[in-house]
Amino acid sequence: MTLLDFTHLGVRLGERPILRDVTFSVHAGEAVGLVGESGSGKSMTVKSVVRLLPAGATVDGSVRFDGIDVPAMNAAELRRFRSRDVAMVFQDPRATVNPVRTVGDFLTEVLRDQGIGRSEATRRAAGLLSEVGVGDAGRRLNQRPYELSGGLLQRVVIAAALLTEPKLILADEPTTALDVTTQEEVVAILTEQRRRRSAALLFITHDLELAAAVCDRIAVMYAGEIVEILPAGLLHEGARHPYTRALLDSRPGAVPPGDRLRTVPGVPQSALTAPAGCVFADRCPLVTDGCRDRRPELLPIGAGRAACHLVREDS
């Protein structure tokens, strides 16, 4: 069953295009990874779900949650949607948690807003802290954010995200600010807890391997567009788009130890600077004249979809 549905979503900031024709869905309980270089539009796609786009953004196409058009929600519907149906985990937990209030206040606030009494809210918050691996929950509830490490605080943010039993979790590079060992623990906890609750996940990362480990499907973005979407388990053998292939080739693990790392040649484009035909044409090793003339559509190929004239003509 489709939970979140983007149909021809376009976002502009003034005259500047940010996202173009973004079309994909996330099913109930499914995890979809949004991958791509900096500036490709991953965060803007996620922000459009909760209507947190910058002031002055204009949106066309649709974003539907459980069949309801998010841009058309009135203030009360939007408040309810944001506080109950969807939860967010961002890169830096210290930017999410109020530094001067206790962890307990942060965790119980949403439940208290829903009319749940203090002791019940505290009991639930303590239970969730234990579930996300924060020991000595009673003591932690009385601490302030500066008393917790980044990894512990991100677990607190994950606990807060789970409190209202959301149907969808939006995670924007949730581990980038943490050290490598802590990253693995936090990803494992997020994955385990969302699976246990059958919550869907839209997971932003630069890291294809991480996306493949955490998600069921991977959507690759470039210059404000989705250029490929495919099952995570088929990432290595099934990726067809030259940009996805180039990202795979530029992973540290793609070259023998000691060899020079490969990069995707050229400079990343935004939706504003991308060429008129295929957005990847300027950097594509397979480019032909036809690629510069016509924009490829995201069409079924193999087990996924890709926006590339060449892989389509090949198959």
Ligand X SMILES: Nc1ncnc2c1ncn2[C@@H]1O[C@H](COP(=O)(O)OP(=O)(O)OP(=O)(O)O)[C@@H](O)[C@H]1O
- 39 is a contact residue toward ligand X (CB under 6 A): yes
- Binding letters toward ligand X, positions 50-89, x by CB under 6 A: ----x-----------------------------------
Residue with tokens 């500036």: 39
Among 12, 20, 42, 305, binds ligand X (CB under 6 A): 42
From the list 33-41, 78-86, 105-113, 208-216, the region that binds ligand X by CB under 6 A is 33-41
Options 40, 48, 108, 244; binder of ligand X; rule CB under 6 A = 40
Give the shortest CB-127-to-ligand X separation in angstroms.
Answer: 33
Stretch that binds ligand X, among 31-39, 107-115, 157-165, 289-297 (CB under 6 A): 31-39
Q: Which residues have CB under 8 Å from 25's CB, separation 6+? A: 2, 3, 4, 5, 6
Which of residues 3, 4, 9, 18 is near ligand X by CB under 6 A?
18
Among 133, 250, 270, 286, binds ligand X (CB under 6 A): 270
Please tell me the distance from the alpha carbon of residue 125 to that of residue 276, in angstroms, as a whole number.
Answer: 51
Stretch that binds ligand X, among 39-47, 76-84, 149-157, 183-191 (CB under 6 A): 39-47
Binding of ligand X by 36 (CB under 6 A): yes
Nearer to ligand X, 54 or 117 (CB): 54
Q: Does 43 participate in binding ligand X (rule CB under 6 A)?
A: yes
Judged by beta carbon, residue 140 or residue 283, the one nearer ligand X is 283
Query: For residues 193 and 61, what is the distance between their CA atoms, to the nearest angstrom?
Result: 32
Tokens linked to 286 = 């397979």
Q: Does 38 bind ligand X (CB under 6 A)?
A: yes
Residues in the site for ligand X, rule: CB under 6 A? Answer: 13, 18, 36, 38-44, 54, 270
